Structure 1
Amino acid sequence: MNKPLALSVLAVSSLVASPTLLAQEQQKSSYRPSPFTFSASRITTGTADVGYQGNELQRDQWMFDFKTGMPLGKKWFIGAGVGYDNLDYDWRSPSLKDNTQTWDKIERYRASLSLSYRPNKNWMFMLAPKLQYAYADTASASNAASYGAVLSGMYRFNSGDMLGFGVAYLNDIDEVRTVPFLAVNWQITENLKLGNPFSAGFSGPAGLELSYQLSSDWNVGFGTSKRTSRFLIADEKDTAEIDEWVSFARVGWDISRSVSVNAYVGYFFNGELELNPQNSKEDIDNQGAAALDVTFKF
């Protein structure tokens, strides 16, 4: 690996909070300046071999998210979010381009709503419809629509810990997927916690992260998740999909009540590139990763 590396697995790959993150927000007693959140992330991956024909791929990515939410009485909570991602795929010795992959730039637009309901002190249910457009510079946005919904339920124990299950129904570009996931918010000790670092959706399940609160301002975490990125590369329903696992380590710094920074290092493994309708698949070598996310609440 000859470059500083990356992590496209940030929580900002989703638009509304996961059930666990939403539960945490609803249980916090600390002051929050406003229900609005904006996050920006810079992600870069190392160079990885793709297949066995001398192809190499290096990825850079910008991700931007804006979220908002508010309670509707004591039992209901509504949230919304929009996002934009700009992906730069740098192919080297790309014989794959003979199969119409002259795509180098990918744009992804995302929108989502969420509605959660707490009928009593123990249960919380959430429904989150999602819409996404993901397409390369060789395709049109009009043919790149995907839609779906995430449904989850969580049980809150007397200790305050929460455990639940969810499923995402995703009508992605020319493919329908159902993604189950575990929703958890478990305070193991005063400083040690197990939770979901991401939101379930088009990018995959919510993942798991074990985090430790070093002080009031600093925390660290270690986690893993499966990540999926599917986008249109030609207007005749030609798609590319990258499916991979990632493990990561995170350092978080709460600069103030309104600003927080998270730095990630990660490692992608078991990656695969699938092209359709050719139904051709190429393995992607393991690669390191790094990312920086800055979040503002205002």
Structure 2
Amino acid sequence: MKFRLIIYGVVLACAVCGQTNESPKFSFPRWGPSLKAGSVYDFPADLDGGGAFSVNRYFVEAGIARMWGFDRMVAVSAGYGQDDYNFDGLGTQLWDNIDNYRLGLFARWALDEKWALFAGPSVRSYGEAGTDLDDAFVGTFFGGVSYTFGDRLTLGPAFLVSGQIEDSTRYFPVLLVNWNITEKLSLETGGGFAATAGPGLSLVYDYSRHWKYAVTGRYEEKRFRLNGDGLAPNGVGEDRNIPIIGSVGYFFYPGGFVSAIIGVNFDGKIELDDRSGANIYSREYDSAFVLGLVASFRL
């Protein structure tokens, strides 16, 4: 734990010290590297029928983007994260540390002043420590098109295709939204902390040039391969919930921010299937608080 906190401190220091408060001055085309890291703690949640569990989540992601303009770019990223589960009162650990490896590509390309295309294929591996990577791989694809209505509103249809370990592929329709309700308040389709089954919706308030506040709601579903030990050797675990997250971010220029997040996970449920697909454990869990810190640095 101390080693992780040192890593997070170094990342945050780089994000703060490497920035200036001047307006961005870019020339195109250009290459730009980025680094993002964070840690989130899910406080203990009581399980129906007894017992409880908590989760310490952390991740780091590095990427590089090729930009031909603010509205035309292609980016590649690679990341690693881990969800450390701690079960209490069950007499056993359903699973331990879940490793998450990710390699993704994202492209945004404006066709003209109104129309833009988005695409983001990725491959990920979710597996308990000790699991072979090729037993835990899934693929996802996010794509869509947007249209800008005047100066305040951008809308467009999109979809997400998400592969699932030992389950059918999930398909999610998504509405891309960027609505500037006022000069400071906006409604946006936003991303999440880590693995997710689909984009969320964020209400964002730009308090000043540097400070930004947001509330984000989303649906999250994680399925992961288990190792050869435990109650279900080589089985599959699942954790899903609906987090409502508030954030306070301080933004540095030309590219970077530090954001503190606090929220609550609702409507949670965990399940455990054996290697044949038979369910051997299923419990809903109570709402629980979430607290974390995320930092991003971009050149």
- What TM-score comes out, normalization by structure 2 length? 0.81
Q: Distance in 1 between the 2:203 and 2:70 partners?
A: 30
Please say if 1:289 is aligned against 2:294: no
Q: Distance in 1 between the 2:59 and 2:260 partners?
A: 14
Q: 1:26 corresponds to which residue?
A: none
Out of 198-207 and 104-113, give the one that drifted further. 198-207
Contact 2:152 2:181 in 1 (8 A): no
Q: Which of residues 225, 229, 239 is equivalent to 2:222?
A: 229
Q: 1:106 corresponds to which residue?
A: 98
Q: 1:204 corresponds to which residue?
A: 197
Q: Secondary structure at the match of 1:142?
A: helix
Contact 1:69 1:80 in 2 (8 A): yes
Q: Which of residues 150, 169, 172 is equivalent to 2:142?
A: 150
Question: Over residues 224-273 of structure 1, what are the superposed CA-to-partner deviations in whole Å (9 max), with x where a residue is unaligned?
Answer: 11111211113675111111001111111114434311111100000011
Q: Distance in 2 between the 1:180 and 1:260 partners?
A: 30
Residue 286 of structure 2 aligns with an amino acid whose one-letter code is: D
Please say if 1:63 is aligned against 2:65: no
Q: Quickly say closer, same or farther: Cα 1:74–1:88, change in 2 above 3 A.
A: closer
Residue 80 of structure 1 aligns with an amino acid whose one-letter code is: V
Contact 1:168 1:200 in 2 (8 A): no
Q: Quickly say closer, same or farther: Cα 1:120–1:160, change in 2 above 3 A.
A: farther
- What TM-score comes out, normalization by structure 1 length? 0.81
Q: 2:240 corresponds to which residue?
A: 243
Q: Which of residues 25, 42, 49 is equivalent to 1:31?
A: 25
Residue 144 of structure 1 aligns with an amino acid whose one-letter code is: A
Q: 1:120 corresponds to which residue?
A: 112
Contact 2:206 2:212 in 1 (8 A): yes
Please say if 1:85 is aligned against 2:92: no
Please say if 1:278 is aligned against 2:271: no
Residue 38 of structure 1: how far off its partner (Å): 0.8
* Structure 2: runs of 5 or more not aligned: 1-22
Q: Distance in 1 between the 2:99 and 2:41 partners?
A: 16
Q: Distance in 2 between the 1:49 and 1:187 partners?
A: 39
Out of 272-281 and 244-253, give the one that drifted further. 272-281
* Structure 1: runs of 5 or more not aligned: 1-28
Q: How many residues of Structure 1 are paired with residues of Structure 2 in the alignment?
A: 265
Q: Secondary structure at the match of 1:148?
A: strand
Which residues of 2 match residues 212-227 of structure 1 at below 5 A? 212-227=205-220
Identical amino acids, percent of aligned pairs: 22
Out of 65-74 and 215-224, give the one that drifted further. 65-74
Q: Distance in 2 between the 1:282 and 1:74 partners?
A: 46
Residue 198 of structure 1: how far off its partner (Å): 0.3
Q: Distance in 2 between the 1:73 and 1:91 partners?
A: 48
Answer 1 or 2: higher relative contact order, Cα 8 Å, separation at least 6. Answer: 1
Residue 95 of structure 1: how far off its partner (Å): 4.3
